Structure 1
């Protein structure tokens, strides 16, 4: 298992190791210094004190030679160093005890991190144990409450979506069956197409809900862009001839989720139709796709597409909020980028494939 160098536990451990080494190093330096001082004192005592006593007693010659000074090992074992060893060992034990105490107090952070990772993967039925009353335990308690609320909201949203899809699918299915029973006519084909599109939109809502909640797994495969474009036009019930396509003969291959990428492309083409009275232009290049249409420029607040709605632009008749947000989210999920430029009266949205 790799060590996270930015982890709090790792930083605390390194700090205590440095402190432990520093204190022990300083102790050994002080011990060596004290031993040398002790040796000098012993040397001075055994060499000079007899001569001083001889001078005081007016004795012309010393009777006995002074004994040699004790070796360093003897001085280190002296009872004079015993208190220093006691202090040194006590400090080391206190440091180790405090380190163990901090690790025990911070260990819930690891469990909390694991719980957040599991929550990110979709497990909202978590309950991190709380065993104390410190700040970390308070954070854990709040996290448990948030998980319970999110789980309840997610279940309510899922139930609401299933009910909406069920209630809408029933009349759409009945309308589709009724249209099939009509005599052959242009109106019959039109009604069948309309009901088919409405049914597709319901499926699209379900896919977008799964995508926004992180439950949608990309099914990446290589497709010809022209095939994805055909599918996007089928969703819009529009003819490719209503779009000026440059580079249609291109053999551009895209590694993408067919359904999601078609939805993203559909949103851009749909906006080009909605907010322009002229034919939009689609340009297929080797590493990008560009959709351009004549119209007013977007406000600066709409260039990032990072919010589902922008109230400075959004109104009851305008879109360019949720559609662009969904498109940008889908492209980011693929590793692509969405760029906007306004040149010579043209709103141009470019999908950059090699981001």
Structure 2
């Protein structure tokens, strides 16, 4: 999910924008339609006035129709059709009001005005894209077709809505297209991080993403040159060191004094061990792929590590199921275990190391006092508690470097006189 945060954010913004625009247009549609209905409903007052005049001065039906025709009104006289329309038509608006009819009357006392208040109900109906006005009173009812009025047309508003939605959608599609190079760039960076040093970040264009890609390409070239120079320097210097060490070892055997021969042999032996450890450190820190990582039985790696340590089998107790397997670089992982065996025997009180699995983690147990400093102190190069011990202080540093290449860490805990180092 986190890998696609930008894409999800863009899509979320698109959905929110579309919903917001749709909601605004829907409200505008409802409001505009209601305003249109209210506007055309005002025609009912004209119809009511014509009917009132007809009731006050009963003329022929022809005169009523003529008065209605002036305003493009048509009186529906077919009783069956009128019933059908009033039952099936959609009611757009209904209003109840009182109609007041005033007439001049004469009695013996003189003239007076007579007012008659009539309850009326005016309804505006829609059927088959036609607008009808249905006027009801206690004594009569009429249905009148307005030939000029048409139902509310939503096409212009729908057209505008479609255009805006299309523009928004195209804009977001363009944004996603512009983000595609960023997705490819992320994949290339991941490949580079996994050790593909020849991946190219170079791209065409002058936008921000292209500028970043080209800057990364320039940086990649500089890093590769530095790594190549470093590797070449270390390998050359170690090769050059091995030659005088070998010559010194041979020349040592020509010395007449046994004491001097032993002393110089020890010096050249330590120098050779130091160069060997430097070579391993260089190999671990510059490892750029995991093509040599395979699945091995852990007991096979431990057995090879014991042989490499050149110690008695009785000095190591292994209580690990033969079926337990790990995915590792055989030679490097063997070196890490060998260093842990050496470390455990060297600093334990009984020169014995126990290797076992606890909570699916490889552990090395040895008796002795608790280490004086946190484990982070000992995984730094050239650090050790006892300078008199015959070591360079690179053992645990090399172990930690190998474990990091295997996505593991070195941990330590002390329990009841037991130092326990853990490959977690």
Q: TM-score, normalised by structure 1?
A: 0.70
Contact 1:282–1:291 (CA under 8 A) maintained in structure 2: yes
Distance 2:159 2:201 in 1: 46
Q: TM-score, normalised by structure 2?
A: 0.60
Contact 2:345–2:366 (CA under 8 A) maintained in structure 1: no
| Structure 1 residues 62-111: Cα deviation after superposition (integer angstroms, max 9, x where no partner) | 71264486658653437xx63x3464244324423432443344333223
Contact 1:282–1:290 (CA under 8 A) maintained in structure 2: yes
- More strand per residue: 2
Distance 1:230 1:168 in 2: 28
Q: Is 1:20–2:18 an aligned residue pair?
A: yes
Contact 1:131–1:137 (CA under 8 A) maintained in structure 2: yes
| Structure 1 residues 292-321: Cα deviation after superposition (integer angstroms, max 9, x where no partner) | 253453323x3597x64598x799889897
In structure 2, the residue matched to 1:281 is 352
In structure 2, the residue matched to 1:228 is 304
In the alignment of these two chains, the number of paired residues is: 335
In structure 1, the residue matched to 2:7 is 9
Secondary structure of the residue that 1:75 maps to in structure 2? coil
Q: Is 1:245–2:316 an aligned residue pair?
A: yes
Distance 1:124 1:30 in 2: 58
Structure 1: stretches of 5+ with no match in the other structure: none
Change (3 A) 1:265 1:86: same
Distance 2:369 2:241 in 1: 35
| Structure 1 residues 139-171: Cα deviation after superposition (integer angstroms, max 9, x where no partner) | 434423321221121111121122123212333
Change (3 A) 1:30 1:72: farther
Secondary structure of the residue that 1:208 maps to in structure 2? helix
Distance 2:318 2:158 in 1: 85
- More helix per residue: 1
Q: Which of 287, 311, 332 is residue 214 of structure 1 equivalent to?
A: 287
Distance 1:107 1:294 in 2: 59
Contact 2:196–2:289 (CA under 8 A) maintained in structure 1: no
Distance 2:402 2:47 in 1: 96
Change (3 A) 1:60 1:197: farther
Q: Which of 413, 419, 422 is residue 341 of structure 1 equivalent to?
A: 413
> Which of these two proteins has the greater Rg computed from alpha carbons?
2
Distance 1:109 1:150 in 2: 22
| Structure 1 residues 304-341: Cα deviation after superposition (integer angstroms, max 9, x where no partner) | 97x64598x79988989753243234345556663312
| Structure 1 residues 265-285: Cα deviation after superposition (integer angstroms, max 9, x where no partner) | 2322343466x4844330133
Q: Which of 180, 184, 197 is residue 123 of structure 1 equivalent to?
A: 197
Distance 1:174 1:329 in 2: 32
Contact 1:179–1:188 (CA under 8 A) maintained in structure 2: yes
Distance 1:315 1:249 in 2: 32
Distance 1:331 1:91 in 2: 58
Distance 2:7 2:413 in 1: 47
